[in-house]
Structure 1
Amino acid sequence: MRDVERLTNSSQTTDVWIGLHSISSTERSWHWSLPGVEFEESEKEWGTSQPDNWATEENCVVIKGQQWYPYPCKNHVGFICYNEPNQTYHFIDEYKSWLQAQSDCREHHTDLVSGIKQINSTEFKEEIKRSSNPDNKLWIGLFRDTWSWSDGKNFSFRHWDPDSFKEEASKTCAMTTPNGKWSSDICTNQKPFYCYDDKVILIKESKTWDEALTYCREKHHDLVSITDRHQQRWVEKRAKMADTEFVWLGMRYTCTLDLWFWVIDRLVCYYNWAQQEKTEGCDRATAMKRDGEWYKKADDEKFHFICAK
């Protein structure tokens, strides 16, 4: 939402491309509507033989008798909203499409009920019992995303305009609308567009780890540090363009403290080591192979490297 507000306050707010595009049915995965809530394959309560992928348009989920069923998002059923501050649930006895229900929950509460923790809560089950007919289908915040971000990030946040957005086979790229929400259009149409900077740069010069560190600090900011899987994706993209088999990262092993550390003075919390690669060794630093896995290398070897800008 912070990004949405920034774009809405910019000089150009309507008919501008953003990096969201439609994907094929084989690429789709399940997400929860509430940002930050991850869908875990082990935490699911599908009805018998579900999801059966019988219909490609069954990309949203209803709950009935505590079991989940894929359902066409355009159909109209009741729904249950979640309120974050006081962790309450609200049954809405109005029949709406999934997108309309999501918009209603976000406007008046926090979001559609999302996550196994919420669905298994006593309060949620009591709210279902209070509904006019507990056996009726009700929307929950689970959906199979038919859209993907061009930078590969898996953020489930969507800000569609329920009044103007309809999934059409010809309109497979997303744009902003005058109210700051999103719609879609034909990708070959020409419009202004928003860019953002990933703040990493590949340096195609072969240097030792110390030389690479000095170069990055003098010309940019520092050797790149990777603290989560989203940063990992960005750096992987740059590594694939290197002419050396490996690229230096900003991680080194210190014998004095007996640990790996990032040059930004953070301990290593996120890992992508190749199998059996994370071992100690003095005069060792971390390099990424072009496939994205990390390896320990003698710090006097020479590779291309990636700087944080």
Structure 2
Amino acid sequence: AQKYCRKNHTDLATVTNMTDVKKLNQTAKQRPAWIGLKKYTNSKETWHWSLPGLSFIKEEAYWSYGEPNNHESELCVFLRENLTWVDDYQYCTMDQRFICYNTNPTQKFHLIETPLNWTNAQRYCRENHTDLISGRQQLDQLNQSLYSETREKLHDQNIPRVFIGLFSDMWAWSDESSFSFRYWDPQSDRDKSCAVLTNKGMWSTDGCDQEKHFICYD
């Protein structure tokens, strides 16, 4: 499929944002269908911000002491009560509170008190706001504008951590672009190495040697 797309078009489909997701779902009538996302298990995981087009800058990281300390293939990040960052993999599938970002100038940050796992939190923020809070600039704005208001909530010892939009994985696009956008189906597994568009309009995985329809882009 990759060879065909590169010969006759540009490459297998790369998806950069929710607008692309809608276009992809309108185009792909036969599913499941391959897209251009593949897991490279021999590669070192790379940190990404959930907000499309925003690059992770190592020098701007604000890790807690000793972090990041996990070495799994897929990680998510929590904000502690002192606004430093902690990476983890076990808690990513557990329901936690999270912070959404909105481009609305009157209220940019929303602490969502209904716990969701990281993937569902990301989807909630994208559907109801803009995205999970992403980037050092947004987190610094949170510190300046909402820290005093949110501090007591973040100190809640029953749920002491909240998700932010920083994650790490070993997935890469076929055209070698660095887009961090992911749209995984939270009900599906990510154990296989190639990504497919499902009937639900989200992404799952399957073995790369399986024959399926596929989506190219120009």
TM-score normalised by length of structure 1 = 0.58
Give 3-state SS (helix, strand or coil) of 2:60's partner. Answer: coil
Q: Does residue 63 in structure 1 map to residue 79 in structure 2?
A: yes
The answer for the alignment partner of 1:304 in structure 2 is none
Q: Is the 1:89–1:123 contact (alpha carbons within 8 Å) kept by the matching residues of 2?
A: no
Structure 1 147/124 Cα, relative in aligned 2: closer, same or farther at 3 Å? Answer: farther
Q: Does residue 79 in structure 1 map to residue 98 in structure 2?
A: yes
Q: Is the 1:82–1:111 contact (alpha carbons within 8 Å) kept by the matching residues of 2?
A: yes
Deviation of 1:167 after TM superposition, in Å, equals: 2.3
Q: Does residue 24 in structure 1 map to residue 41 in structure 2?
A: yes
Q: Does residue 39 in structure 1 map to residue 59 in structure 2?
A: no
Structure 1 165/146 Cα, relative in aligned 2: closer, same or farther at 3 Å? Answer: farther
When structure 1 is superposed on structure 2, of 17-26 and 31-40 the one drifting more is: 17-26
Matches within 5 A, 1:209-220: none
- Answer 1 or 2: which has greater helix percent: 2
The answer for the alignment partner of 2:27 in structure 1 is 10
2:110 to 74, 78, 90: 90
* Runs of 4+ displaced beyond 3 Å: 132-135
Unaligned runs of 5+ in 1: 198-309
Q: State which structure, 1 or 2, has the greater radius of gyration over its C-alpha atoms.
A: 1
Query: For the residues of structure 2 that align with 1:146 and 1:128, how far apart are their CA atoms?
Result: 33
Structure 1 11/137 Cα, relative in aligned 2: closer, same or farther at 3 Å? Answer: closer
The answer for the alignment partner of 1:133 in structure 2 is 155
Structure 1 31/111 Cα, relative in aligned 2: closer, same or farther at 3 Å? Answer: same
The answer for the alignment partner of 1:109 in structure 2 is 129
Query: For the residues of structure 1 that align with 2:122 and 2:38, how far apart are their CA atoms?
Result: 20
Structure 1 159/60 Cα, relative in aligned 2: closer, same or farther at 3 Å? Answer: same
Matched AA of 2:124: D
Q: How many residues align?
A: 193
Structure 1 156/12 Cα, relative in aligned 2: closer, same or farther at 3 Å? Answer: same
Q: Is the 2:74–2:170 contact (alpha carbons within 8 Å) kept by the matching residues of 1?
A: no
Unaligned runs of 5+ in 2: 1-17
The answer for the alignment partner of 1:189 in structure 2 is 210
Query: For the residues of structure 1 that align with 2:98 and 2:19, how far apart are their CA atoms?
Result: 26
Q: Is the 1:77–1:95 contact (alpha carbons within 8 Å) kept by the matching residues of 2?
A: yes
Query: For the residues of structure 2 that align with 1:29 and 1:6, how far apart are their CA atoms?
Result: 27
Query: For the residues of structure 2 that align with 1:25 and 1:134, how far apart are their CA atoms?
Result: 40
Q: Is the 1:7–1:13 contact (alpha carbons within 8 Å) kept by the matching residues of 2?
A: no
Percent identity reads 40
Structure 1 147/178 Cα, relative in aligned 2: closer, same or farther at 3 Å? Answer: same
Structure 1 59/127 Cα, relative in aligned 2: closer, same or farther at 3 Å? Answer: farther
Query: For the residues of structure 2 that align with 1:18 and 1:97, how far apart are their CA atoms?
Result: 25
Structure 1 15/78 Cα, relative in aligned 2: closer, same or farther at 3 Å? Answer: same
**RMSD over equivalenced CA pairs, Å:** 2.0
Matched AA of 1:165: S
Query: For the residues of structure 1 that align with 2:148 and 2:109, how far apart are their CA atoms?
Result: 9
TM-score normalised by length of structure 2 = 0.81
Query: For the residues of structure 2 that align with 1:124 and 1:13, how far apart are their CA atoms?
Result: 46
> CA deviation digits over 1:249-296, x for unaligned, max 9?
xxxxxxxxxxxxxxxxxxxxxxxxxxxxxxxxxxxxxxxxxxxxxxxx
Matched AA of 1:60: C
Structure 1 110/37 Cα, relative in aligned 2: closer, same or farther at 3 Å? Answer: same
Q: Is the 1:62–1:139 contact (alpha carbons within 8 Å) kept by the matching residues of 2?
A: yes
Give 3-state SS (helix, strand or coil) of 1:69's partner. Answer: strand
Structure 1 46/187 Cα, relative in aligned 2: closer, same or farther at 3 Å? Answer: same
Query: For the residues of structure 1 that align with 2:42 and 2:150, how far apart are their CA atoms?
Result: 32
Deviation of 1:128 after TM superposition, in Å, equals: 3.0
Q: Is the 1:79–1:93 contact (alpha carbons within 8 Å) kept by the matching residues of 2?
A: yes
The answer for the alignment partner of 1:118 in structure 2 is 138
The answer for the alignment partner of 1:143 in structure 2 is 167
